[in-house]
Structure 1
Amino acid sequence: MDPEILFEDPYLVAAYKPGGWLVHRSSIDHHETRFLLQHLRDLVGCHLYPIHRLDKPTSGVILFAKSSQVAARAQAELASESSVKAYVAVCRGWCPEEGVIDYPLPPVSDFKHQRKRPKADQPRQPALTRFRRLDTTELPYAVDRYPSSRYSLVEIELETGRRHQIRRHFKHIHHPLIGCPKYGKSVHNRFFAEQFGCARLLLHAHRLELNHPATGERLCIYAPPRGCFASMLETLGWVLPAR
């Protein structure tokens, strides 16, 4: 799937980022050739400034500004309590119906010289994640050590934006996300790849709300999952909340 522009005005561009695309060039992945920022610049014909980020395997709504001044104001809006950054994800097990994960996280180091730093030199940062369970399923397959396997569809809202926060927090509460090779469980990841043809991280940024940094109007951008994620939801009879 290619990226798609979801919203554009003289100040902002919101786009759908497919899973597997980097937002911009990075030394983390020297071999990647798909960069969302460059792709969108070619489409809109002007320089764009990232306002926030989505990890490479995460799909969904992402916002850019057409000037550095608007980008700074938009970042302040996204950091305010009035903004909403909502995701949908599939996790192992039946997680609680709703909850708040308040668990400080140490920084994640992507570069080799940073990884050499002792963990004691990397203080934990406050991290807060809210979630509510949307649906559950129990499948008649012995994926792990039980005769059947349970999974939950959850909607998640971030109060803070630490790197890999959602994946790390759901691992912390023993409900790791499906499709995550780093913080998940490989047997469940393989099961979803084989059973549903979905060999990706099942985490999607489906809704972004903020006050427009230039006009002050309320801006709500919504994009449901696509591709194998959408097909898997349909197969399981799971329906996302109305926008």
Structure 2
Amino acid sequence: MVAVYKPAGWLVHRTGLDAGETRFVLQALRNQLGQHVYPVHRLDKGTCGVLVMALHADAARALAQSFLTHQVRKEYLAMVRGCAPLSVLVNHALRPDDAPPDAAVQDAQTRLTCVARLELPVSSDPRFERTRASLVHAEPLTGRRHQIRRHLKHIAHPIIGDATHGKGPLNRWWAERIGLQRLWLHAWRLSVPHPVSGERIDLHSGLSLKPDATRAPVNADLRDWNERVLSMPWNGTNTG
């Protein structure tokens, strides 16, 4: 198996839904390693962070089974609208995005924990004098497509920069303030059993909620999170 950091804006593999894209993790990794690699899970194009692939077919089957049977722990960090609840288990069934309206829904659960809140004395919405946001730790307990994004929308705290499930005017306001338009969702930690030995492997993206000013971020994504998001006056941030 191989673990990589997927940059925001890259696709995991080619898809007809984004025919104009030229950056693919799968192809870049094959070129770097000089061998075939096998995708076993995916991250949305706008999401950055930890991604795992297999190096042979048997490992791919074992890893896919680990994801299917919920032996993998996935943890994300998201910047969302408003004051998110301190802790909530969202149990809201989802219909696949591309399914017809009469298709059956699928069970979906996400555990959400608010790790920090922010209140700015400026208005991003004519209805309110101040602007609020939260940093949320999200742990999907099932693996539905866009699950975290859809569950946060369901509880009225959409991810900042989510063009599909968020609010356009608010996304544009934050993009102007932060200086960057993107989805603020980060694949933070991944704990997975090794496909051969079964030994648990804990992977971390390198993002800390309290960045060390003496250590430069290893890539542009982490620098953007540190300098554009985590540098704001958050209240209640825990060490991560």
User: What is the TM-score when the length of structure 1 is the normalising length?
Assistant: 0.87
Residues 172-213 of structure 1: per-residue CA shift (max 9 Å, x gap): 101111000111011221122111113100001010001211
Note if contact 1:198-1:229 (Cα within 8 Å) is conserved in structure 2.
Answer: no
SS for the counterpart of 2:139 is: strand
- 1:104 and 2:93 aligned: yes
Question: Of residues 1, 7, 12 in structure 2, which corresponds to 1:23?
Answer: 12
Paired letter, 1:142? S
SS for the counterpart of 1:28 is: helix
- 1:220 and 2:216 aligned: no
Q: Which residue of 2 aligns with 1:230?
A: 226
**% identical aligned pairs:** 42
- 1:129 and 2:129 aligned: no
Q: Which residue of 1 aligns with 2:212?
A: none
- 1:168 and 2:155 aligned: no
Q: Which residue of 2 aligns with 1:7?
A: none
In structure 2, relative to structure 1, the CA distance for the partners of 1:16 and 1:52 (3 Å cut) is: same
Note if contact 1:196-1:228 (Cα within 8 Å) is conserved in structure 2.
Answer: no
SS for the counterpart of 2:118 is: strand
Cα RMSD of the aligned pairs, angstroms, is 1.5
Paired letter, 2:116? D
Aligned residues: 223
Q: CA deviation at 1:45?
A: 1.1
For residues 198 and 170 of structure 1, what CA distance do their matches in structure 2 show? 21
SS for the counterpart of 1:74 is: helix
Q: Which residue of 1 aligns with 2:68?
A: 79
Q: How does 1:1-243 map to 2 (within 5 A)?
A: 12-109=1-98, 117=100, 119-120=101-102, 122-144=103-125, 145-223=127-205, 224=207, 226-238=222-234, 241-242=239-240
Q: CA deviation at 1:29?
A: 0.6
Q: CA deviation at 1:216?
A: 1.9
Structure 1 unaligned residues grouped into runs of 5+: 1-11
Q: CA deviation at 1:18?
A: 0.7
